[in-house]
Every structure is written in C-alpha cells, then in structure tokens.
Copies of this chain bind each other. A is one copy, B any other.
Amino acid sequence: MTLDDLPTPCLVLDLGILRRNLAAMAAAVARHPGLVLRPHLKTAKSADVARLAAPGGGPITVSTLAEARYFAAAGWLDQLYAVGIVPAKLPAVAALNAAGAAVKVITDDLAVAQAIAAFPGPLSALIEIDVGEGRGGIPPGDPVLPVIAAALGSRLAGVVSHSGHSYAGRSIADMERIAEAERQGIIQAADRLRGAGHGVPIVSLGSSPTALHARDLAGVTEVRAGVYMFGDLLQTQLATHELDDIAVTVLASVIGRSVARNTLLLDAGALALSKDRSTESAPKDWGFGRVLDLDARPSLGEAIVARAYQEHGEVRCQTPLPMLPLGSRLRVAPNHSCLTAAAHTQYHVVDGGREVIAVWDRVNGW
C-alpha cells in the first residue's frame, strides 16, 4: 500500500520526522540535569506514538478521561490529567488509580480541593498556577494558594502551570523570556507551599516552545509539551520547527479545478483539516493549511486551502496553480496539528517515501 492507494482524505504521519522532533526535544530537556520530560499525548493520542515519545511507560500528560483510560490500559501508569478537574470526574480517576495507575489531577479551586480530599479513593492533585496565560490557575501570590494546599493535605502532589501565551512569541528570545517568567512564577508558588510546611514533589510547567528554548529550569522537576512531536504551520513561525519538520499532513484528492478562478478543489475540507485558523494572526497566514505535493514538497508555491467547506477545500494561490487532472493527490500541512489530527481516527505511517509502513490508531473523544 502506498499514498497512491489510500482512500482520501486521510491522515499521514512521517515516522522519520517524528523521530527527529522527539530527538530535538530530548536534547533540549537534557540540557537541564535531572529534568523530566512528561510528554503531552493530547496531540498524538496514540500508544504507538507514545512508545517512541514516552518509552518504557514513562510519565505522560493527558487531556481527557478517554486518554487516561486508554494509556493506563496500555501501560502508562504515571499520568498528569492536565485539565481542571470537577467532582463528577473523580470516580473515574480514582477507579484507574485503584487499578494500579497514578493519574494526578489538577485544580485551582478550594471547593474542588475539598472534594478531592474527601473522596473515598486514591487521588492526588497539583495546584494550577497562572504564570501569565490568563486561562486557568491562580497567581503564584494568591492568598488562596495555601488554603487550597491545606485542604488537599496529604493529597497535594505539587504545582503545575501552562505557558500557552508563548504562542504569541515569535523568536527564541521571546521564548527564553516567557520561559523564565513561567519558571519564576511556578517556583514562587512552590516556595510558598514549602514555607507553609507542604511537600511539593512535582513542579511542572510547559508548552512546546518554552520547553525547547528555556535557558534555565532550576527548581522545576518536569516539563510538559505535546505539539513538538508533529509540528505545524504555527510552530514554523515560533522558532521551533521548519516546514520539513511537520510530521503530519492530510492526504487529499483533487476533485475540481477552475482556470478562470485559479482554484483547485480538494476532498479535504473543514472536517478533514479542522477549521483551525491559528496562523490567522501569525506573520504568514496559511488559511486552513498549506498545500504540498504528494511527496510533501512545496512545489505548488504558497498554495493554501483558502476556503474550507464541510468536505471541500478550495485551494488558492497568488501564482498560477497547476490545473492537475482530477484524482491527482496532494498533501496539506496543518495550521495546528492537534486539531487536524483529532479529525481522524488513524495515522497512515510513512518514512520519507510513499510506502505506508503501518497504520496506527488514535483515541479521540472523551
């Protein structure tokens, strides 16, 4: 089976690029002695990818209970479930832990901390700290921090932050600065808790750009990152990836063309690509994805999917497009690989060529 044979649209994963991205992150983390990488599997959602990204059942991060169950069953026991927990989800987590897993939850809320402490089953929790993203978490100096810690008592496992605002950075210097601010914030929170007599075994921060570019992570015990595995068109504008570091693409067939409008139509539309527009506010707006040839080369110039209907993707370009015969195959590099991958249930794995060497499953949903 080759890329010429697969039904379209479908998701293609290049194993060689994946391995290279994993090695780059491993090298970045190895600059910091003792630092643990806890890969976020919300991007890949695949045990086959996890075998490479978190070998030996190493620590992982997950974003859904579906991922927690799937990876626990596949042998990854040390998990951080990095979305604010609510009491209704505690029984599912405790059940996994009672069966041998160590799924840690996160919270920034006193009532939830009390519910965690009171829950009759094995649980541990990290307190979520806001280091500048302004999404979840409490500021490092918030008066409620020690109150939440006291409520958690022996179930307190550490502190956790996310620097999603690093995606607004555009240079290595930006990433270094954001990473240092994140480090200082999370350390401040950990120090306050230690000063109040709590053990804080885990000090966890992350985002792919800051994990790759942080200069100093003293005091941090682990970093979390996910999108670095696959890269995407936004990452190519964050000083982390180049176009040929993007490991996932959508394989599509040409289903229409118009010389008058200088357009091609693909059978990859909003459902196959997602409607993510992450590059809309980036220096280079790639529409709903950049259109590459069947060998993932940019031989169509700066062609993009400019309009995404449910099952139609309309390709436009500033320069004349080749009026390819219908049925010709192209590949689309995604704006945001987490969202595009989530539109598919399988990876068709290649290794630099067109031959499909494996098919890997994903765990979507909740």
State which of B108, B109, B265, B327 has its C-beta within 8 Å of the C-beta of A88.
Answer: B327
Expressed in whole angstroms, the minimum distance between the Cβ of A356 and any Cβ of chain B is 15
Enumerate chain A interface residues (CB-CB to B < 8 A): 7-10, 42, 63-65, 83-89, 108-109, 111-112, 134-136, 164, 253-257, 261, 265, 267, 270-272, 274-277, 307, 309-312, 314, 325-327, 338-339, 342, 344-345, 364-366
A256 contacts which chain B residues (CB < 8 A)?
A: 84, 108-109, 135-136
Top 6 A-B pairs ranked by shortest CB distance?
A84-B255, A86-B327, A275-B275, A136-B256, A63-B311, A275-B276
- CA gap between A134 and B261 in the complex, in Å: 8
Copies of chain A in the complex: 2
B164 and A88 form a contact (CB under 8 A) = no
Q: Which residue of B lies closest to A128 (CB)?
A: B256
State which of B83, B253, B310, B325 has its C-beta within 8 Å of the C-beta of A267.
Answer: B83
Q: Which residue of B lies closest to A365 (CB)?
A: B345
A366 contacts which chain B residues (CB < 8 A)?
A: 7-10, 272
Expressed in whole angstroms, the minimum distance between the Cβ of A145 and any Cβ of chain B is 15
Interface of A is mostly: loop
- CA gap between A311 and B257 in the complex, in Å: 37
Expressed in whole angstroms, the minimum distance between the Cβ of A343 and any Cβ of chain B is 8
Expressed in whole angstroms, the minimum distance between the Cβ of A274 and any Cβ of chain B is 6
Known: A84-B265, A109-B326, A253-B88. A339 touches B310 (CB 8 A): yes
A65 contacts which chain B residues (CB < 8 A)?
A: 7
A275 and B108 form a contact (CB under 8 A) = no
